Structure 1
Amino acid sequence: MKLPRISLEQWAAFKAVVDEGSFARAAESLNKSQSSVSYAIARLNDLLPAPVLELAGRKAVLTREGKVMYRRATQLLAQAEAAEQTAQLLARGIESEIVLAIDGLLEPGQLIPVLDQFSQRYPLTRLRLLETQLSGTTEALLEKKADIVLGNQVPVGHLGTPLKSIRMVAVAHPDHPLCQTGADAGINDWELRSWRQVVLRDSGTRREQDAGWLGSEQRWTVSHFSTTLKVLRVGLAFAFIPYDWVATDIQQGTLKIVPLSLGAERQLPIYMMMAASDSCGPATSALAELLKQHFAGSGDLAPLRTPSGCTSDDGP
Structure 2
Amino acid sequence: MAKVTLEQWRMLRAVVEHGGFAQAASAIHKSPSSINHAIHRMESLLGVPLLEVKGRKAHLTGAGSVLLRRAERILESVQNLEALADNLSVGLETEVVIAIDQAFPERILSQVLTAFSQRYPVTRVELHETVLSGTEELISDGKADLGITPCSLSGRLGEFLMNIDFIAVARPDHPLHHSTVLTESDLEPYRQIVVRDSSSKHSINVGWLGAQERWTASNLHTSVAWVVQGLGYAWLPLSAISTYLENGSLKPLPLLVGAKRSMDFQLYHADIDKTGEATQYLAELIIKGCDQKSTLLLPKL
The residue type paired with residue 120 of structure 2 is: Y
Equivalent residue, structure 2, for 1:248: 243
Give the stretch that moved more between structures: 237-246 or 55-64.
55-64
C-alpha distance in 2 between matches for 1:260 and 1:204: 31
Q: 1:78 to 1:226 in 2, by over 3 A?
A: closer
Gaps of at least 5 residues in structure 1 are 300-313
Match of 2:75 in 1: 77
The aligned amino acid for 2:43 is N
Q: 1:263 to 1:80 in 2, by over 3 A?
A: closer
C-alpha distance in structure 2 between counterparts of 1:25 and 1:69, whole Å: 22
Indicate which of 219, 223, 226 corresponds to 1:224: 219
Seen in structure 2, the aligned counterparts of structure 1 residues 87 and 261 have a Cα distance that, compared at 3 Å, is: same
Select which of 46, 49, 70 maps to 1:48.
46
Alignment root-mean-square deviation, CA: 3.1
Amino acid of the structure 2 residue aligned with 1:275: A
Kindly provide the amino acid, as one letter, of the partner of residue 260 in structure 2: E
* Alpha-carbon contact 2:22-2:32 (below 8 Å) kept: yes
The answer on whether the counterparts of 1:144 and 1:275 sit within 8 Å (CA) in structure 2 is yes
Change (3 A) 1:296 1:56: closer
Residue in 1 aligned with 2:95? 97
Instruction: Report the equivalent of 1:307.
Output: none
TM-score normalised by the chain length of structure 2: 0.84
The match for 2:200 among 192, 201, 205 is 205
Matched-pair contact (CA < 8 Å) for 1:102–1:108: no
Note closer, same or farther for the CA distance 1:293–1:177 as it changes in structure 2 (3 Å cut). Answer: same
Deviating more after overlay: 240-249 vs 284-293: 240-249
User: Sequence identity of aligned pairs in percent?
Assistant: 40
- Say whether the 8 Å CA contact 2:108–2:290 is kept in structure 1: no
Q: CA deviation at 1:160?
A: 0.6
Instruction: Measure how far apart 1:159 and its partner are.
Output: 1.4
* Alignment match, 1:115: 113
The alignment covers a number of residue pairs equal to 297
Q: Return the offset for 1:139.
A: 1.1
Question: Does the 8 Å CA contact 1:122/1:315 hold for their aligned counterparts?
Answer: no
Work out whether residues 148 and 272 of structure 1, in 8 Å CA contact, stay in contact via their aligned partners in 2: yes
Shift of the alpha carbon at 1:15?
A: 3.3
Distance 1:198 1:59 in 2: 63
Residue in 2 that maps onto 1:106: 104
Q: CA deviation digits over 1:281-304, x for unaligned, max 9?
A: 2221111111111212269xxxxx
